[in-house]
Amino acid sequence: MKSHLFIKQCALKKERGAVLIVGLIMVLLITIVGLAAVRGSGMQEIMAGNMRDMNLSFQGAEAGLRVGESTINSVSKTSAFNGDGLWTDLQLPTSTKAPIQDWDADDWVAEGSSIAAPEIEQVGTPRYVIERIITPIGKIAGADSSGIGVGSMEDVPEPEFFRVSSYSTGISSTAEAVVQSTYKTLN
């Protein structure tokens, strides 16, 4: 019986805890993979929130643009286009105000720069600007009696062109959208 006990004691002395070390390494690897998955899903949640915010700002700007376009028909030729959201072509070098593409958030909300559209839930108040674009078209042809169709353009009504620009933010003020359209009327 002594020999059988001696064999068990020798077998126990040879084990050095290799299974424990392998097990700890596996737990460490599983932890690293789990942390990477949590970090990745958190980043995707942030990106989805930013896309939602950008989408809301774009929808707000679109709504402001539609309000501005529907306002054009009530704007008459005699309206003063020198402020309060009604401007004469800001792209002209003689303009007293910077072009729309150079405006920042402060320019949009400055007194007299733009017109507030109705407030939209989760977006706030979109703002829009209407510019009368200066383009004399009808009277140019044959003005000096040298063009084709001399006098034929005199009876054609001069079209009026307007540029409507709209600005909105999303839920956060960092998501900004500006959209523009060109609108033509015949008078």
pTM reported for the whole predicted model: 0.69
Cα distance between residue 127 and residue 174, in whole Å: 16
Cα distance between residue 80 and residue 163, in whole Å: 16
The ranges assigned to domains in the chain are 18-186
On whether the CB atoms of residues 177 and 143 are closer than 8 A, the answer is: no
Which helix (H) or strand (E) element contains residue 128? strand 127-133
How far is CA 8 from its chain centroid? 76
Sole residue written with tokens 């033509």: 184
pLDDT of 9 reads: 60
On whether the CB atoms of residues 133 and 89 are closer than 8 A, the answer is: yes
pLDDT of 13 reads: 60
On whether the CB atoms of residues 100 and 114 are closer than 8 A, the answer is: no
In three-state secondary structure terms, 150 is coil
pLDDT, tens digit, 9 for 90 and up, residues 125-148: 899 999 988 765 554 444 555 555
pLDDT, tens digit, 9 for 90 and up, residues 36-94: 888 888 889 999 999 999 999 999 999 999 999 988 878 766 677 877 888 888 888 88
Instruction: Pick the closest to residue 159 from 126, 141, 183 (CA basis).
Output: 183
On whether the CB atoms of residues 164 and 146 are closer than 8 A, the answer is: no
Answer yes or no: is pLDDT of 150 > 80: no
pLDDT, tens digit, 9 for 90 and up, residues 11-22: 556 667 788 888
